[in-house]
């Protein structure tokens, strides 16, 4: 269970990425039915910590708080700043005991220095992906994703992608409902579109076309129907080829992939919040049959609908 969260600060820390960790994990949202975490901000040397913008924040807790943390999170920091050896120890020990480890943006270099990216996939801000690959050649750096999860080590790309990475961990541990509550309070998408649960494709552009805003809204309200590219193109008053090309250009994925992802998210919600049978959920979300829905759950979430409901049904948010 995701309970105790420790954010590790260091000199040269970037404030936005630090703020992302604090915003997702550090705010009491029980008033809205959201999770409450035991959140700690720590430093190798408690006291004033100089930020990247040149002013200090005062951190009173030392790294001992991380000894039993369920998640150790490392924000971005300024290039060239030395990494305290105790921070590297904390990161190594967290990974060794099976805790979650999260880095945002250039925080991936801390994970690399600790050696826990060896043999794992990873990512960081696109400006730094080549440098990360050169510095730590034993990790496979993917420059085209928002974040990567590889065996409970999560590396997020730049800035806002840290939100995606953090919400991914919440979703994996507490379910879609908990992640949705946090996202709603932050006024961000609970999950940006993409493929497998271990990675999310590169950030999509905002939908600039009124026709695509309208058709995606219509798709969301008609998930139980058979929605083909031809039928969606007619809905948008385009040819099928033009629709498919423009949809991918605007949303960064194919209509079918986008639709399957929305159906999966809706199925997760129904499994968490209702007692409908698997066949009913499959019908309501457009998968048609429970066997088809199971295929998508296993492929994307690496679990079955039955196991997902057993884990997250009945609103485990606390």
What's residue 248's pLDDT? 84
Same domain, 232 and 160: no
Residue 124 in any domain: the answer is yes
Same domain, 26 and 57: yes
Same domain, 197 and 271: no
Same domain, 55 and 161: yes
Residue 317 in any domain: the answer is no
What's residue 278's pLDDT? 96
Q: Quote the number of domains for the chain.
A: 3
Closest CA to 223 of 267, 289, 177, 175: 267
Same domain, 265 and 151: no
Domain of 181 in residue numbering reads as 4-201
Same domain, 171 and 55: yes
Query: Which residue bears the tokens 């798709």?
Result: 219
Same domain, 152 and 226: no
Residue 53 in any domain: the answer is yes
What's residue 100's pLDDT? 98
Same domain, 240 and 288: no
Residue 19 in any domain: the answer is yes
Q: For the chain, how far is it from start to end, CA to CA, in angstroms? A: 11
CATH code for position 167: 3.40.50.880
Same domain, 183 and 230: no
| CB-based contact 71:33 (threshold 8 Å) | no
Same domain, 163 and 279: no
What's residue 191's pLDDT? 62
Residue 306 in any domain: the answer is yes
Q: How far apart are CA 229 and CA 246, in angstroms?
A: 12
DSSP of 77-110: B-TTPPPPHHHHHHHHHHHHTT-EEEEEGGGHHH
What's residue 211's pLDDT? 57
- Which ranges of the chain have pLDDT less than 50? 194-209, 316-318
Residue 79 in any domain: the answer is yes
Same domain, 229 and 285: no
pLDDT, tens digit (0-9, with 9 covering 90-100), for 35-80: 999 999 999 999 999 999 999 999 999 999 999 999 999 999 988 7
């Amino acid at each position: 269970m995701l309970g105790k969260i420790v954010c590790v600060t260091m000199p040269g820390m970037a404030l936005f990425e630090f703020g992302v960790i604090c915003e997702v994990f550090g705010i009491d949202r029980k008033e809205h039915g959201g999770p409450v975490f035991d959140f700690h901000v720590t430093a190798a040397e408690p006291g004033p910590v100089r930020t990247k913008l040149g002013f200090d924040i005062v951190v009173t807790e030392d790294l001992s708080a991380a000894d039993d943390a369920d998640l150790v999170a490392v924000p971005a920091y300024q290039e060239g700043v030395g990494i305290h050896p105790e921070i590297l120890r904390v990161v190594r020990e967290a990974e060794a005991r099976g805790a979650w480890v999260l880095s945002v943006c250039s925080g991936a270099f801390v994970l690399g220095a600790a050696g826990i990216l060896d043999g794992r996939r990873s990512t960081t801000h696109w400006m730094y992906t080549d440098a990360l690959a050169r510095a730590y050649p034993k990790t496979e750096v993917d420059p085209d994703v928002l974040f990567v999860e590889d065996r409970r080590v999560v590396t997020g790309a730049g800035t806002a992608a840290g939100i995606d990475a953090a919400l991914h961990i919440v979703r994996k541990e507490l379910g879609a409902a908990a992640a949705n509550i946090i996202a709603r309070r932050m006024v961000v998408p609970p999950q940006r579109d993409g493929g497998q649960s271990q990675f999310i494709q590169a950030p999509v552009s905002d939908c600039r076309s009124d026709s695509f805003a309208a058709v995606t809204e219509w798709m969301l309200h008609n998930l139980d129907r058979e929605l083909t590219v031809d039928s969606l193109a007619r809905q948008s008053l385009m040819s099928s080829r033009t629709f498919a090309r423009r949809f991918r250009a605007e949303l960064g994925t194919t209509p079918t992939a986008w639709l399957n992802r929305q159906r999966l998210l809706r199925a997760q919600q129904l499994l968490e919040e209702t007692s409908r049978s698997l066949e009913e959920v499959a019908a309501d979300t457009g998968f048609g049959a429970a066997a088809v829905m199971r295929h998508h759950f296993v492929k994307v979430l690496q679990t079955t609908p039955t196991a997902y409901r057993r884990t997250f049904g009945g609103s485990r948010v606390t």
